[in-house]
Copies of this chain bind each other. A is one copy, B any other.
Amino acid sequence: MLYLVRMDVNIPHDLPAEQAQEIKAREKAYSQDLQRDGRWKHIWRVAGEYANYSVFDVESNDELHGLLQALPLFPYMKISVTPLAQHPSAIAQN
């Protein structure tokens, strides 16, 4: 089951740079783990912004929320979720 997720990152400028780097490194590793196991299906950079659009493929709203709130950058992101359904004109299955 697919969800489109937009994440806008806003790291406070007074967060120590070292701490920010450490959080971002964990974020990247976490994201790549989920991409490899197939649940974080797509991740694209929004051109010009510190933001991404992603597509998640999970079993339920609960699973999605669990994955998102475990993001190391979660406290510094504005996230919005759009549930996606099969489009009648799509030639592929979601």
A interface residue numbers (CB < 8 A to B): 1-5, 12-15, 27-28, 31-32, 35-36, 42-50, 52-53, 60-62, 64-66, 68-69, 74-76, 79-92, 94
Contact = CB atoms under 8 A, between A and B. Distances in A.
Nearest to A94: B44
Please give me the 7 A-B residue pairs with the lowest Cβ-Cβ distance, nearest first.
A65-B85, A44-B84, A48-B81, A47-B83, A45-B85, A61-B83, A45-B87
A44 B4 contact: yes
* This protein's copies in its complex: 10
Given A62-B85, A85-B61, A85-B65, A91 B44 contact: no
A8 B64 CA distance: 19
30 contacts: A2-B61, A3-B47, A4-B44, A12-B13, A12-B14, A31-B89, A32-B89, A32-B91, A42-B92, A43-B87, A45-B65, A45-B85, A45-B86, A45-B88, A46-B82, A46-B85, A47-B64, A47-B65, A47-B81, A47-B84, A48-B69, A48-B80, A49-B81, A50-B69, A50-B74, A53-B84, A61-B85, A62-B85, A62-B86, A62-B94
